[in-house]
Structure 1
């Protein structure tokens, strides 16, 4: 029976994503998104005393969920973009599988103090790592109008990105945007009627991605995974929106985030991966009912060639 994490975060596609790793009991695995520890616990339950699991998370809050599994388990408090550096540090040359549950955790969305959700009045922070980097307020109050519009359009896919950016620049000329309420008041006139919640979620998503450099980190992590996975090793990635899913899909198809397929002299694709089963896995109706966060989830599994 799969082990489910506590209230910090309910793991999505738990059995399917870990099954996708085709775990060897004595193998070396990486969970690059530890969070509540649900996926890590399930992986550990399938390892013997010779197996090893390295779990990454840059958020100090996640450390409360660290599991006691002796030498089998190592928690790495770092952004997963540094995956290769840390594996080198621990003397690991190859891994047997890597799991990633991308996006924002339910813990972050439910934390009223960190500004990830428009549901709560909070400072516009949105940093996964509270120790460093620009906050959402820094971006909103300092990016020029064109750059703001690009962020909102690229990462939020909002057609009103230019109008929203112009409204933000106008509003901050009177007073800086400090709280989620300030942003909601400024952007509300420009979101679609009947789509307020969906469009606001996309606006907050865009800022969160920019604050945490999520797409750059994802590209770097996937490239490192392609180098670290042994032949036959598995990549199991859960995505929640089209931007990150496109990057994962392209990496599996072509070996790069842009999807540029290269071919050898005989016309064969040069890619380090082969899709497993050739199908996209989505949550069951039952899981979507129990865990609403899972409704947009997609799981892609690939094998290193």
Structure 2
């Protein structure tokens, strides 16, 4: 599985945050909810010699690659072919010292033309992280009505030209591959916009990928389930790569780290409990030296929260 290689984003800070939540545990248990190629987990094993990790990924190819990369830790790693919102199938409430979510698409998925994620390389209009899922990008591009297609491109891609792009796609049907779609999108943009945009199709491809994989729909329930699974002092660490993801992460962490009464003029009820505290305010970004080595890390936003209230 040499083609499935991925540089873990903000690796050292991620591992520092997770390890700090397990400093008083003899055999900490972590969940890597998006195992990918296993880069973060490999670093975590090095940092915490007694740690056990449960790794999830909806991409079967990623799991195979991770198992090969982490073979020397096989007695400390358990993997499952699951979406991260299914984490309660394999972990118990209050059992984890830390949880990591590395959201979005990985470099190997983008770089493999056959997966259909890349607008630079010719491949099928697929974009499924789990190839067993029914919905593909081809179905959306070639069969959805124009209004629904425009809505997807606008909502998930923040694309101001969504209606023009959707109209151009519908007029060009059938669209058979990724580079054909990329050209259609570029041609649909006004010349002034096209001149200012390095990758005209990037937002449209992002939007289709998010819709195909229901990416935004599963983040909140997964985060809440992860919080339930944390032991006292355990850390929730999340890397997000676009504004839609990060808004959800920010909101969930904020809501779980404050008492909500529903009325600003009312004090919190006496039995109110805040489950989390923010480890730091706002989001951290990659440092300049990391961006020089891995330009794809540029959009990363890192947030972390710690469980401060145990199970009742």
Q: Same fold (TM over 0.5)?
A: yes
CA distance in 2, matches of 1:211, 1:164: 18
Q: CA deviation at 1:260?
A: 11
| Equivalent residue number for residue 91 of structure 2 | 87
CA distance in 1, matches of 2:198, 2:152: 19
Q: CA deviation at 1:279?
A: 4.2
CA distance in 2, matches of 1:32, 1:81: 9
CA distance in 2, matches of 1:203, 1:20: 34
| Equivalent residue number for residue 59 of structure 2 | 59
The structure-2 alpha-carbon separation of the partners of 1:162 and 1:303, relative to structure 1 and needing over 3 Å to count, comes to same
**How many matched pairs?**
292
Residue 52 (structure 2) pairs with residue 75 (structure 1): no
Q: Secondary structure at the match of 1:74?
A: strand
Q: Deviations over 1:209-260 (max 9, x none)?
A: 001110112122112112111222101111111110000000110139xx99
| Equivalent residue number for residue 162 of structure 2 | 161
Q: Is the 8 A contact 1:238 1:300 kept in 2?
A: yes
CA distance in 2, matches of 1:26, 1:271: 27
CA distance in 2, matches of 1:161, 1:95: 42
Q: Deviations over 1:19-61 (max 9, x none)?
A: 1111335111101111111101111223344x32101112122
Q: What's the TM-score, normalizing by structure 2?
A: 0.86
Q: What's the TM-score, normalizing by structure 1?
A: 0.88
| Equivalent residue number for residue 107 of structure 2 | 106
Q: CA deviation at 1:86?
A: 2.1
CA distance in 2, matches of 1:262, 1:110: 47
Q: CA deviation at 1:73?
A: 1.0
Mean CA deviation greater in 264-273 or 158-167: 264-273
Mean CA deviation greater in 236-245 or 56-65: 56-65
| Equivalent residue number for residue 206 of structure 1 | 207
Gaps (5+ residues) in structure 1? none
Q: Secondary structure at the match of 1:20?
A: helix
Q: Deviations over 1:176-229 (max 9, x none)?
A: 212012212322223322244344111100000001110112122112112111
Q: Is the 8 A contact 1:253 1:261 kept in 2?
A: no
The structure-2 alpha-carbon separation of the partners of 1:170 and 1:262, relative to structure 1 and needing over 3 Å to count, comes to farther
Gaps (5+ residues) in structure 2? none
CA distance in 1, matches of 2:260, 2:299: 27
Find the partner of 1:177 among 167, 175, 186.
175
